[in-house]
Amino acid sequence: MKTIIFHIDVNAAFLSWEAVYRLYHKGAAVDLREIPSAVAGDAGMRRGIILAKSMPAKRCGIKTGESIPEAKRKCPKLTLAPPNYNLYERCSAALMAILREYSDAVEQYSIDEAFVDMTQTCHLFGEPEQAAEMMKNRIYRELGFTVNVGVSENKLLAKMASDFRKPDRVHTLWKEEIQKKMWPLAVPELFFVGRATAQKLFSMGIRTIGELAQADPAYMKRILKKQGEIVWAFANGLDFSPVLKQAPANKGYGNSTTIPFDVTDAPTAKKVLLALSETVAARLRADGVQISVIAVGIKSADFSYQSHQRVLTFSTNITLEIYQTACALFDELWDKRPIRHLGVHTSGVCRENFSRQMSLFDGQDYEKLARLDLAVDAVRERFGADALMRAAFLNQPINHMSGGISRE
């Protein structure tokens, strides 16, 4: 039986979802998708970059990731909308629910992308292209936004196909179509080829995917190591990864935040670390896991970045323990330059319930701290994240559970 994989990609997801919400729930007279518009972060909070843009904005030269001032210079009449991540999560969930009616093998690749293995169910809906059109049209009819659907026999080619002409399209990229449809494209358009890899390929005289596909794989490996093997295989349409019904377990947990002002003193920085530790530790406990490695990252006002990590003697998910380790790492790392961005990251995830070795020289009652954390989690789960707040955050400009997505 021929394998049939669909890749579904929402067209300008954040902007499309914002437009649909405004049209059908707020009675907006203008569709953001039809004018130069963009979803952008809060410039006042120093998160002012373009997150998604409309097709008219794209025609003005506006790019995802550029700053609001840059975008405004290109298009003075650009309409900006603030991000609403809670709305986006609901839209994503509604999309995935529809996809699971076509197959039980759905892998959510990101908030606005998914792979669907249609091998066993495609015959129920017609030929692959017919099924893809049916799926695409139903999503628009029921949810109000458009998607592109790529159809192929593996995940790589399906994803490449969905990136062809947009919006609201179905494209195929079967293996027999690779030379005609994919090989003429420039190498930066190949999945897994970033800017640095593209520059290396250009320096080797390789400018198209076809030229990469016909290169000597041994030579590619010698020059680009493992990356060379991967991109050569992708250029030839080779991908054997299955559609995963369940997401793989997290290998690490982390959170970071851009601070609205430059931090120049350690006490303020440590309040941010405490807020980040609160959110990270809560996620660990919610998933029933512990971690054994903690890292702190600092981005200075000049955008330079440095990080430092420590391996713990015992794994933990206790907020105070993560915070205290983060503070120790911060003290070792910070060079007194003004701080723009802070992050707390963890790894070494343990799912077993390890017992902690008691020490005569340890002044902490970790069992009591663990019970306290669980009680706080229960209160916040029932009454909201702001139901309990540490006194250190009263009348402070720092949110007591910083980082992650905003809580509109």
Residue 183 DSSP one-character state: T
**Model pTM score:** 0.81
**Total residues found in the chain within this entry:** 408
Choosing from 18, 66, 107, 113, the catalytic residue is: 113
Which residue ranges make up each domain of the chain? 1-174, 182-235, 252-393
- Secondary structure of residue 110 in the 3-state scheme: strand
For residue 106, how many other CB atoms are within 10 A of its CB? 22
Question: 37 exposed, middle or buried (CB, 10 Å; 0-12, 13-18, 19+)?
Answer: buried
Per-residue pLDDT of the chain (408 residues; tens, 9 = 90+): 799 999 999 999 999 999 999 999 999 999 999 999 999 987 665 667 899 999 999 999 999 888 898 999 999 999 999 989 889 999 999 999 999 999 999 999 999 999 999 999 999 999 999 999 999 999 999 999 999 999 999 999 999 999 999 999 999 999 999 999 999 999 999 999 998 999 999 999 999 999 999 999 999 999 999 999 999 999 999 999 999 988 778 889 999 988 888 999 999 999 999 999 999 999 999 999 999 999 999 999 898 999 999 999 889 999 999 999 999 999 999 999 999 999 999 999 988 665 666 665 566 788 899 999 999 999 999 998 889 999 999 888 888 887 655 444
What CATH number has the domain spanning 252-393? Answer: 3.30.1490.100
Taking only Cα atoms into account, the Rg of the chain, rounded to an integer number of angstroms, comes to 24
Q: Which amino acid is at 399?
A: N
∠ CA(307), CA(310), CA(316), 5° rounding? 120
Multiple choice CATH, 1-174, 3.40.250.10, 1.10.1520.10, 3.30.70.270, 3.40.50.2020: 3.30.70.270
Residue closest to 190 by CA, chosen among 222, 224, 218, 219: 224
Any catalytic annotation for residue 113?
yes
Q: Is the peptide bond before 167 cis (omega within 30 degrees of 0)?
A: yes
- Secondary structure of residue 262 in the 3-state scheme: strand
What CATH number has the domain spanning 182-235? Answer: 1.10.150.20
Q: Which residue has the tokens 């050569």?
A: 232
- Secondary structure of residue 131 in the 3-state scheme: helix
